[in-house]
A and B are shown apart, each in its own frame.
Chain A
């Protein structure tokens, strides 16, 4: 199937006759993979470059135009055991990457300037105590100014522009005291140098910039990495659509190339990647990913289809619509908009800290100056001491305290299968005291599974699985998946509307409707015991078996929920599904609070109600109907199988078939928040110790430099403790 993808949308020109293609590759996780892929693909004639990016799990290929079909690369990778999909970086990802690289450039400039200035400062510090000539000291100070002033003007721009923006909006952020500190320190040092004074603070100013840029870069790099990974996931989902290029010719194209008004074909077993309305055809459709409702409905001409809908029985022709045409979708978009607005009012820990910090620091500096004036010191000396206070209190440790913890914690979360979408996700997830789960696709697995596998002999199961590979029906696909079947049986034919059949060892084999396989009786027995299940019968000669296929609860869900209960969290379930199905799941999982048949509006109302009680909710959901609730909740998570819209608004996305990442996210976030607070306190204690020395007027550039590096090192080391969680999982 993959080889039929039309690659033209993804190819880029690289030079006069070279083509470039980026592939997201699933399964690259070690250096061995990297070497294997590069070696094999470089061997293809005309390929000029094949380079794996192990961090982003991507492959960049370049080859001479004309001779090679890009599908060959995908096939070759499949032979090596890797699934690869063409990939186009989203706008957001490119922007994050550019920002990260710009910060790194500024960090480089600041760090090099700091190192070179230190080389000039150390002789001055030691020379002040011994026999350095005043002319030599002045010369070194002027040289420092020559290096630091341009470097600071360039590398501190992010702080200046952010502080300027905050001041224009009549607010204060962390960058305001930083910018004031840097500018005053540089201006004073210049003045001191010109007046042949002993001390200049060029080294402290540029070192401060370098440390703060390191914090910013860590923060930005974490964001860039998650974006890149999210981009891969989107590509690995292989979002393609079968498009009619004229009345009867079809072609598989990437979803990115589909425009509103195009007509696409949806075949049984396919999940729609587009929104639209049915033009012709009739089929049972499974909307569980959108509404949470597990019972299939019937789509006929005129029905609306949303991305994520699973087509079960017949083929449909669908006209692609612009995003917000359907009633459900426009309703959800409207709810979403208001919910997202309310969330943006959340104040991050760093912002709250800086609101307290900036006025306190500036007041202290001002009071110091006034105090020294009253005590009889000259204006010049008083200003110098006040600026020393500003330099020593400049939130160097504060600027590193939170990004460092975030970076380490997001690494630990990544190891447990959680990807963070937003920078403040850790803080918000850590604060929750109530968890609301959606049922379908969140507590249950999104794909169907065989429920009575234990009742069927292994050899029969395997044979049925191989037979099922020839059918596209989702129920049959579930049987094939559960059996782990790889090799289809030869000579299988399909009886439309009934099932598939063939001959094996001289006996007829059939898989399909129970009535067609003569297994009505046992099928009815299963359906009576479990009305939620779908059944499919398998017949081999005279023997027949019935498979009960249904959505299965995630294997570790009950364990995770009881663990959440134990940590004192209240767990609730809100589902759009019918009551019997929800009741059964609640019973199996030990969830006492649950509601069935809730609409998106109901979900939001419930969350608002809990909010009014002063509680903070973590919403875990996957459906389109969950998206507004995800945005309205204090924090939110989605499984990676969720609809686009849900993933986009969720704070974090979790991977895999287990529910354990939800628990890990809460545990790691709580620990990280504790460390962030600790780090802030460490910074405060450092200030409490250092500020009296500064107020007393004893701070020399040497003390400033030592205190600054010491406190930064301390918060970095403390941040590394967030890592410990990974080993305990």
Chain B
């Protein structure tokens, strides 16, 4: 059961990373336009890399 010594911290770190990523994406405004985001993924060509800047 020594495996717990590094598996548990690893699991908690991964969880914390996931939470941090979620909070970052929320702050970044990625949930402001869910309809648009769904379509952007399959758009033929993005207008330019400018559109990805933070609003």
Interface residue ranges, A against B (CB under 8 Å): 30-31, 34-35, 38-39, 42, 48-56, 60, 62, 101, 104-105, 108-109, 112, 115-116, 119, 133, 136, 139, 143, 147
**Given A42-B50, A42-B51, A143-B8, A136:B1 Cβ within 8 A:** yes
Can you list 16 A-B pairs with a CB-CB distance of less than 8 A? A35-B44, A42-B51, A48-B53, A49-B51, A49-B55, A50-B51, A52-B36, A53-B32, A54-B35, A62-B55, A108-B23, A109-B23, A133-B1, A136-B4, A139-B4, A147-B12
Determine the distance from Cα of A139 to Cα of B39 in the docked complex, in whole angstroms.
46
Are B26 and A101 in contact, with the CB atoms below 8 A?
A: yes
Q: Is the CB–CB distance between B39 and A108 below 8 Å?
A: no
Q: Chain B residues near A143 (CB, 8 Å)?
A: 8, 12
| B18 A112 Cβ-Cβ under 8 A | yes
Q: Is the interface of B mostly helix, strand, loop or mixed?
A: helix
Given A55-B32, A136-B1 in contact, is the A104-B26 Cβ separation under 8 Å? yes
Q: Which B residues are in CB contact (< 8 Å) with A39?
A: 47
Contact partner of B51 (CB less than 8 A), chosen from A31, A51, A119, is A51
Q: Point out the residue from A49, A51, A112, A119 that lies within 8 Å of B19, measured CB to CB.
A: A112
B23 surroundings in chain A (CB, below 8 A): 105, 108-109
Known: A55-B33, A60-B55. Contact between A116 and B22, CB under 8 A? no
Q: Is B50 in contact with A48, judged by CB distance below 8 angstroms? A: yes
Q: Enumerate chain B residues within 8 angstroms of A108, measured Cβ to Cβ.
A: 19, 22-23, 26
Chain B 17-44 near chain A by CB (<8 Å), digits 1 or 0: 0110011001000011111100110111
Residue of B nearest to A115 (CB): B15
Measured in the bound complex, the distance between the Cα atoms of B19 and A288 in whole Å is: 57
How many Å lie between the Cα of A546 and that of B11 in the bound state?
82
CB-CB < 8 A to A31: which residues of B? 36, 39-40, 42-43
Taking the closest CB of chain B, its distance from the CB of A182, in whole angstroms, is 20
* Interface contact B50-A116, CB-CB below 8 Å: no
Q: A143 CA to B16 CA in the complex, in Å?
A: 14
Inter-chain contact B55/A38, CB cutoff 8 Å: no
**Cβ of A34 and Cβ of B36 under 8 Å apart?**
yes
**Cα–Cα distance between A534 and B18 once the two chains are bound (Å):** 68
- Bound-state CA distance A31–B36 (Å) is 7
Give CA–CA (A537, B8) in the complex, Å: 87
> Told that A105-B26, A136-B1 touch, could you supply 11 new A-B pairs with CB distance under 8 A?
A34-B39, A34-B43, A35-B47, A48-B50, A49-B50, A49-B51, A55-B36, A109-B19, A139-B4, A143-B12, A147-B12
What A residues does B1 contact at CB under 8 A? 133, 136
Residues in B neighbouring A62, C-beta threshold 8 A: 55
| Alpha-carbon distance between A60 and B50 when the two chains are bound, in angstroms | 13
Q: CA separation between A133 and B4, bound complex, in Å?
A: 13
Min CB distance A403 to B, Å, is 17
A21 to B51, CA, bound (A): 15
Q: How far is the CA of A60 from the CA of B53 in the complex (A)?
A: 12
Inter-chain contacts of B53 with A (CB < 8 A): 48-49
B18 surroundings in chain A (CB, below 8 A): 112
- Give the distance in Å from the alpha carbon of A30 to the alpha carbon of B48 in the complex: 19
- Residue picked from A48, A104, A116, A133, most chain B C-beta under 10 Å: A116
Q: A58 — nearest CB in chain B belongs to which residue?
A: B33
Q: Which residue of B lies closest to A112 (CB)?
A: B19
Q: Which residues on A sit within 8 Å (CB–CB) of B32?
A: 53, 55-56
Instruction: Provide the residues of chain B in CB contact with A53, threshold 8 Å.
Output: 32-33, 36
State in angstroms the CA–CA spacing of A115 and B18 once bound together: 11
Give Cα A31 to B53, complex, Å.
Answer: 19
Measured between alpha carbons, how far is A54 from B43 in the docked complex, in Å? 13
Complexed CA–CA distance, A49 and B22 (Å): 24
Given contacts A31-B43, A38-B47, A115-B15, whether A51 and B55 have CB atoms under 8 Å apart is yes
B50 to chain A, nearest CB (A): 6
Closest to B55 in A: A60
Give the chain B neighbours of A42 by CB distance below 8 A.
Answer: 47-48, 50-51
B residues less than 8 Å from A116 (CB atoms): 11-12, 15
For the complex formed, measure the closest distance between the CB of B39 and the CB atoms of chain A, giving whole angstroms.
3
Tell whether, in the assembled complex, residue B34 and residue A55 are in contact, meaning their CB atoms are under 8 Å apart: yes
Chain A residues with CB below 8 A from B19, complex form: 108-109, 112
- Closest approach, in angstroms, between the C-beta of A411 and any C-beta of chain B? 12
A39 to B46, CA, bound (A): 8
Interfacial chain A residues near B48, Cβ < 8 Å: 42
Chain A residues with Cβ under 8 A from B34's Cβ? 55
Q: Does B33 contact A54, Cβ atoms closer than 8 Å?
A: yes
The distance in angstroms between the C-alpha atoms of A101 and B4, with both chains bound, is 37
CB distance from B46 to the nearest CB of A (A): 8
The answer to whether B33 and A38 touch across the interface, beta carbons within 8 angstroms, is: no
> What B residues does A56 contact at CB under 8 A?
32-33
Q: How far, in whole Å, are A139 and B9 apart by their CA atoms in the complex?
A: 13
Q: Which 7 A-B pairs have the closest CB atoms?
A: A31-B39, A54-B36, A116-B15, A112-B19, A39-B47, A53-B33, A54-B35
CB nearest to A42 among chain B residues: B47
> Nearest Cβ in chain B — how far from A470, in angstroms?
40
Bound CA–CA A34/B47 (angstroms): 10
Chain B positions within 8 Å of A147 at CB level: 12, 15
Task: Report the minimum CB–CB distance from B5 to chain A (whole Å).
Answer: 11
> What residues of chain A lie closer than 8 Å to B44, measured between beta carbons?
35
- Bound CA–CA A136/B8 (angstroms): 12
* B40 CB → nearest A CB, Å: 8
- Give the residues in chain A near B33, CB-CB below 8 Å: 52-56
A residues near B47, Cβ cutoff 8 Å:
35, 38-39, 42, 50
CA–CA, A52 to B55, complex, Å?
11
Q: Could you tell me the distance in whole angstroms from the C-beta of A197 to the nearest C-beta in chain B?
A: 21
Q: Which residues of B contact A51 (CB under 8 A)?
A: 51, 55
